[in-house]
Structure 1
Amino acid sequence: MFLNSIKQFSTIVQNHVNVNHILSQSVKSIQVRNYAARKGTRDRKAKKKVKAEVVKVGFVPHNQRNKLKLLAQREPLKFDDSWKRNPTDDVYVAKYYKWVVYPFAEAVKCHQETHSPEMYNKPNANLHVTIELNMQGEKKTRFVDNFTSVVKVPYNFDHGEERTIVVFSKNPDEQNEAITAGATLSGGSDLIKQIQNGDVSLQDFQYCIAHPNILPELVQLRGLMKKKFPNPKMGTLDVNLGKVVDKFLNGVKYQAVKDDYEKEFGCIKTVIGSLDMDIKHLEENFSVLINDVNSMKPRRPGTFIDRCILWSPPSQEVLKVDHAVFLKELNSKGSQNVFEKQEDYDKEEEEEKGERVAL
């Protein structure tokens, strides 16, 4: 029995030696690669490890962070209710139907009633108008730039603004005519020298008007005047100084501003008179205003003025009026002049930017 045990032990030892020999031989046969994996393999592994990319936004001031969120969620400014139905009676939910379009005279009467002594008791309140514009240019990728103008209306009113005007002319009679019309200051060569010496500042005047007879001497002040330099296209260079002064002193001043985000939407807000004026006088002022605005229309099909709204504080009532009946069709020559006027304005903007860079 002792011999059998010795034989079993020797068998186990022999098997163990054989196993170690086999393992040593297999280890020697393992291949080791020292070069990188193929590009496709690396790409597949990289795609498995892709994480959600965090888009970094530049610094936003704390008082504008909520504003950016609101702008992304706001409703479009351009109003279109052409797809809605017309109201069938006098009582209806306004948001489900088209906005009622009033004749101009009827809209003014509605505001006069709300401002009567029995209600707001402000019969001489100003009548405001909001003009919404389609600022789309001749090309879809271009838009009409912001523009400012003053239009002479047939019936003057108290606009509540203090406008200062300086007039240049060689003729003393023309200087007196400008002062009589309401100019703040008028003069000739002596006035130009006073401005050059610093005795008179052009910053004290909103408008600079001149007669063509003094234009060669006035060129010396072009660098100081910049945009205020008299220009026939802007109406500040004319032989009839009294008429021009009256226009810039009593006319309706307006500015068309396009939205920073919806560039095809532009808006004008101005005053055309007071509610105690005759309705026909207000109507003529309105007609002159919208025709002057429409003269800035680019050469493209479609309308430039989308909507006109009349309103008068403190009342919150706003009434849409039919402006199309007052528009006069522009001939091809007129529209070309308007386009050239816009190009000249753009050139002046570029020149001014060049001057700023040079400084």
Structure 2
Amino acid sequence: MAAPMVKPVFCTSRSILQGLCGFCSRHAIASRSENVLSKYKTSALQLSKYMSTNRLLKQYSKGDDAESLEEFAADLDVKEKPKKYKAWTPADDVYMIKDYPPKETTFKDAMKRLRTQASWSYVPDREYKDRHIDVTLYLDLNVGEKKLPAFSNLWTPPHHFWKTNKVICIAEGDGAKLAEEAGADLVVGQEQFPEIIEGEITISDFDYCVADQNMVRHLAALKKYLREKFPTAKKGSAGKDVGPLVTKFKHVKKYRVLEKFDRISNCIIGNLGLSDEQIEDNLKFLITDVCTHKPLSAGPLITKLAICGYRLDSYKINLNDYIQQEEQKETIVDTRSELEKIEDELRQLRAS
């Protein structure tokens, strides 16, 4: 048996306004709303593109005459509802933050809010006493018609925080002594290579592996077992001075660009045990390091910045305080190049 045909029901703006007439004053607004309907012919689906139904009902209910409705209808053409959000601003003082686009704030204001949220009584102190603070950097990888490949890098924050990394060092003789004094978790030589190959020493227990430059030529047998932790001079994990090398990798952090989303997500820059000034110094150092991967002449690399605490709200930070520094560096370089050109021209004139 064939299913019965169901006629589609279309809800037009006329039906919305007629429903509002009963909500406010049916016969008072109905006669005055005809001019608006004839001037702004739009459907309920188009109206819902700009704001939620409840907001639409409240806004129309405030209209006393046709002129106020015309002004509101004219505003619809200008203010389009943001994607993935209900509206630009909430209708009252009780709302969900996730339903509206975030507003930019300063770093100090964001940290003040995060510290306030972390001190609320219903947050368990044992588990989240010293929360980490992380940032998400939204990037513009376009350089003309080309696009920068996804990159990753190691950076050492000026102010250390949280736990230190576990480092295994491959060195012998004086280099082994320097590595132990610098705080290496384990120092191995050629005699311990069979233990690594047989699995008695598990490389996955360590975050990084560094090596003395004199030992690099003996590491070919361990390349299969060290994998991405294989120390090389290009990565900066192999060098002559083993002591500073171990100290560096004890506190080093890593960031990586997500190629699919063009952003660096959840890069930890500190914890609540640090002061706001120390966390901001770490943030500035990170931004400076990230911006080196794109020339200044191609435009800013970072377009948005959001800061968040572990299981706390996220806040959008104003980038002007950090991007201006890069612009000033560019102007300084330009002025220097101009001065050099002027000096060259003067020398040529004197010579002639």
Tell me which of 137, 144, 154 is aligned to 2:149. 144
Alpha carbons of structure 1 residues 117 and 240: separation in structure 2 relative to 1, 3 Å: farther
Q: Indicate the residue corresponding to 2:176 in structure 1.
A: 175
Q: Indicate the residue corresponding to 2:219 in structure 1.
A: 218
Instruction: Please identify, of 219-228 and 205-214, the stretch whose mean Cα deviation from structure 2 is larger.
Output: 219-228
Q: Indicate the residue corresponding to 1:186 in structure 2.
A: 187
Counterpart Cα distance in 2 of 1:286 and 1:200:
36
Q: Indicate the residue corresponding to 2:280 in structure 1.
A: 283
The TM-score normalised by the length of structure 2 is: 0.56
Contact 2:139 2:301 (8 Å CA) reproduced: yes
Which residues in structure 2 correspond to 1:80-95 (within 5 Å)?
none
Instruction: Give identity over the alignment, percent.
Output: 23
Contact 1:135 1:258 (8 Å CA) reproduced: no
Check if 1:325 corresponds to 2:321: yes
Deviations 1:58-107 (A, max 9, x none): xxxxxxxxxxxxxxxxxxxxxx99xxxx99xxx89999998533232222
Which residues in structure 2 correspond to 1:1-359 (within 5 Å)?
99-117=102-120, 120=123, 124-136=130-142, 138=143, 140-145=145-150, 147-159=151-163, 163-172=165-174, 174-196=175-197, 199-259=200-260, 265-297=262-294, 301-315=298-312, 317-326=313-322, 329=326
The TM-score normalised by the length of structure 1 is: 0.55
Contact 1:168 1:210 (8 Å CA) reproduced: yes
Count how many residue pairs are aligned between Structure 1 and Structure 2: 237
> What is the aligned-residue RMSD (CA, Å)?
3.8
Counterpart Cα distance in 1 of 2:145 and 2:254:
29
Structure 2's unaligned 5+ residue stretches are: 1-81, 331-352
Counterpart Cα distance in 2 of 1:276 and 1:199:
37
Deviations 1:235-273 (A, max 9, x none): 2113333333233333333222122xx6xx323212211
Q: Cα distance, 1:157 vs. partner?
A: 1.5
One-letter code aligned to 1:102? T
Deviations 1:145-199 (A, max 9, x none): 2x3333111222215xx84322112334x32332343423212332335435665
**Structure possessing the higher radius of gyration over alpha carbons:** 1
One-letter code aligned to 2:172? K
Structure 1's unaligned 5+ residue stretches are: 1-79, 333-359
Alpha carbons of structure 1 residues 198 and 310: separation in structure 2 relative to 1, 3 Å: closer
Alpha carbons of structure 1 residues 235 and 98: separation in structure 2 relative to 1, 3 Å: same
Counterpart Cα distance in 1 of 2:217 and 2:115:
52
Counterpart Cα distance in 1 of 2:99 and 2:199:
63
SS in structure 2 at match of 1:127 = strand
